[in-house]
Amino acid sequence: MFKTVFTLFRGTVAVAEEQLEDRTALVILDQQMRDAAAAVDRSKRTLALAIAGDLQEGRRLEATRARIADLEVRATAALEGDREDLAREAAQAIANLEAERDAAMTARTLFASEITRLKRHVANAEARISELDRGRRLARASEAVRSLRRSGIEAARPYECTLPEAEATLKRLRERQMEAQAADDALFEIDAASGPLSTAEKLAELGFGPRIKSTADDVLARLKARRPPAA
């Protein structure tokens, strides 16, 4: 028994949760889309930082390459002037600059990969958000139409009649009118069959008194009487 009651309770809670989700689905969808849009904005800011970092590394790389080229020229000149000590010092500076150059090139490679990934992610997210927005507009339109139908036809006020009720009332009225007309016709026939006029007609047909209605013989006799006498 306890297991049955517990199962029933869980089922009631599940139904209530589903009903709540149905009633608040559009509200939940709106908030989820706002969260998704905020996440896309953060991705855009990250992309912008990655592009800025790549540009900075690019400028650093160009400057380092220029310094390396300049020191190479000067170190060559020092060697030609028999100043190997100065040439060695320049060579050490060039080695350090080359390490910076390689680091900058590696950084730019990493930035390029991240920029490509972020651009693809942002483009995909924006396309999905646009699709969701179109779907949300359709869902809102469908919900508005369903609400209008429900409020205009299904959810009538207690003191208002619906179309089916009015049609049923008209049907009952017509049936009562037809019954009343049938009763009137029957009563008229009864009165005609049992009234004084009907009795007089019976007596006349039996030969008691003059006929009330003409017969075929009466009509023929009257027509023969109108004929001129034979010559």
Q: Tell me the pTM.
A: 0.54
Cβ-proximal residues to 124 (8 Å cutoff; 6+ apart), any chain: none
Express each pLDDT in 31-77 by its tens digit: 888 888 898 999 999 999 999 999 999 999 999 999 999 999 999 99
User: What is residue 226's DSSP assignment?
Assistant: T
Helix, strand, coil percentages (3-state) for the chain, rounded to 5, are 85, 0, 15
Identity (one letter) of the amino acid at 33? Answer: M
How many percent of the chain have pLDDT more than 90? Answer: 32
CA angle (36, 143, 22) in 5-degree steps = 65
- Could you tell me which residue, 173 or 107, shows the higher pLDDT? 107
Give CA–CA dist 25/17, Å, rounded: 11
| 168-185 mean pLDDT | 80
Taking the CA atoms of the chain, what radius of gyration do you get in angstroms? 54
2-155: CATH number? 1.10.287
Taking only the tens place, the pLDDT of each residue in 100-132 is 999 999 999 999 999 999 999 999 999 998 888
Domain ranges, ordered by start, for the chain:
2-155, 165-225
Task: Check residue 27 and give its pLDDT.
Answer: 81
Question: In terms of pLDDT, which residue wins out, 121 or 211?
Answer: 121
Question: For residue 177, what pLDDT is reported?
Answer: 82
Mean pLDDT, all residues of the chain = 79
